[in-house]
């Protein structure tokens, strides 16, 4: 199978591509605009594989998309390209509407035009897999409920609203035009190659640099944490075995308050890279004003994907977070190139 992956230079996309090249025989076409969050260094190990190709294309560029579909003739699309940082969406929502909604619309139309001209056999086998977030469901504040695949949408931020809109577009194209689409909604991912503005890498790197560890409010916000390599396995399982028209929630079964996550990171760093002065890293924690509209709790019920497709996470939070901290400690050069912007000036691993 040849899979076209949009946003393959991002955090989850690169983890998916690394998994596919390492663990399967599939061919991969990575289509990425290479915004600030796209880093081809995360795919350096894949760059020389004959089963990997890269195309620098914006998903809003219909002509570019048509060219890629015509050249590579994919059997499936896995759509991960998105603006994804909540704080950035609050400061500048326009880019989120453009990429997440207009871009998804443009990609759907390009995929539909391509799919309609396939042979009957290839048309029946084609899949459009849209990768989304649990944030579309809103806030589980004051409830012990879990998000299921039929939880009503109630997005809180410009980011989650734009992702909710893209989910609705995919469902409409499946229902109206028959495009064989599937949707997955995942909980918070963490692991290697995560962009340093996100919570876990930010805390690790700030701690090592002696900077404050900023926690929104009291840090009581609860998230379900999913190790990114577990997510990659789930995505491949869905695109190969999922049922057209269905939604699958993907979660890590690891509900943690943000402050718990920060404390765990501090304790691991105390063990693995203690401060020169012997003080605990927790002394660097500072509490800052909470962001507007901040949801208190997200939690995924991942029972459907377990029952129907046999997927479960392999990593507990304890094993996954230790692997993550160890990876960052061993890859500080990668982090520094992201922090100083040199990764954008030294694009690696390009072929195709």
Is 75 annotated in the active site? no
- Written as one string, the DSSP assignment of 24-58 is ---EEEEE----TT--GGGGGGGTT-TTEEEE---
67: which residues sit within 8 A by CB, 6+ positions away?
57
Query: Which of 159, 193, 227, 236 does the annotation list as catalytic?
Result: 159
Please give the Cα distance from 165 to 260 (Å, whole number): 32
137 secondary structure, DSSP code:
G
Q: What is the CA radius of gyration of the chain?
A: 20
What is the distance between the alpha carbons of residues 278 and 260, in angstroms, rounded to a whole number? 22
Look at residues 74, 98, 91, 71 and name the one whose alpha carbon lies nearest to residue 6. Answer: 74
Q: Under a CB-based contact definition with an 8 Å cutoff, are residues 242 and 131 in contact?
A: no
Tokens of 269: 């760093």
Active-site choice (135, 167, 224, 315): 135
Q: Is 281 a catalytic residue?
A: no
Is 135 in the active site?
Answer: yes
Cβ neighbours of residue 186 under 8 Å, at least 6 residues apart?
Answer: 12, 131, 132, 133, 134, 226, 231, 234, 249, 250, 251, 300
Catalytic residue among 134, 167, 255, 295: 134
DSSP conformation letters of 236-288: HHHHHHPPTT-EEEE--S-EEEHHHHHHHHHHHHHHHS--TT---GGGGEEEE
Residues designated as active site: 134-135, 159
């Amino acid at each position: 199978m040849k899979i076209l992956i949009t946003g393959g230079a991002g955090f989850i996309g690169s983890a998916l591509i690394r998994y596919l090249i390492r663990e399967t025989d599939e061919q991969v076409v990575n289509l990425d605009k290479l915004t600030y969050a796209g880093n081809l260094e995360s795919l350096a190990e894949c760059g020389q594989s004959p089963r990997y190709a890269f195309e620098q294309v914006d998903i809003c560029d219909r002509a570019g998309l048509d060219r890629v579909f015509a050249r590579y003739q994919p059997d499936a699309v896995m759509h991960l390209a998105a603006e994804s940082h909540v704080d950035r969406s609050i400061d500048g929502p326009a880019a989120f509407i453009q990429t997440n909604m207009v871009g998804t619309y443009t990609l759907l139309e390009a995929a539909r035009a391509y799919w309609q001209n396939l042979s009957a056999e290839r048309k029946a086998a084609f899949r459009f897999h849209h990768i989304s977030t649990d944030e579309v469901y809103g806030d589980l504040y004051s409830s012990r409920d879990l998000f299921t695949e039929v939880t009503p949408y109630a997005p809180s931020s410009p980011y989650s609203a734009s992702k909710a809109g893209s989910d609705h577009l995919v469902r409409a194209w499946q229902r109206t035009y028959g495009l064989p689409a599937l949707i997955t909604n995942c909980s918070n991912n963490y692991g290697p190659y995560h962009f340093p503005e996100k919570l876990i890498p930010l805390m690790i790197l700030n701690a090592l640099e002696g900077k404050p560890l900023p926690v929104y409010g009291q840090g009581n916000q609860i998230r379900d944490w999913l190790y990114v390599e577990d997510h990659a396995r789930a995505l491949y399982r869905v695109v190969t075995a999922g049922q057209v028209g269905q939604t699958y929630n993907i979660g890590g079964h690891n509900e943690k308050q943000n402050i718990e996550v920060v404390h765990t990171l501090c304790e691991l760093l105390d063990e693995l890279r203690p401060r020169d002065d012997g003080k605990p890293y927790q002394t660097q924690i500072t509490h800052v004003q909470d962001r507007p509209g901040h949801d208190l709790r997200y939690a995924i019920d991942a029972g459907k994907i377990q029952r129907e497709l046999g997927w479960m996470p392999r990593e507990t939070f304890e094993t996954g977070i230790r692997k993550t901290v160890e990876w960052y400690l061993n890859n500080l050069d990668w982090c520094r190139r992201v922090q100083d912007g040199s990764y954008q000036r030294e694009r690696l691993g390009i072929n195709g």
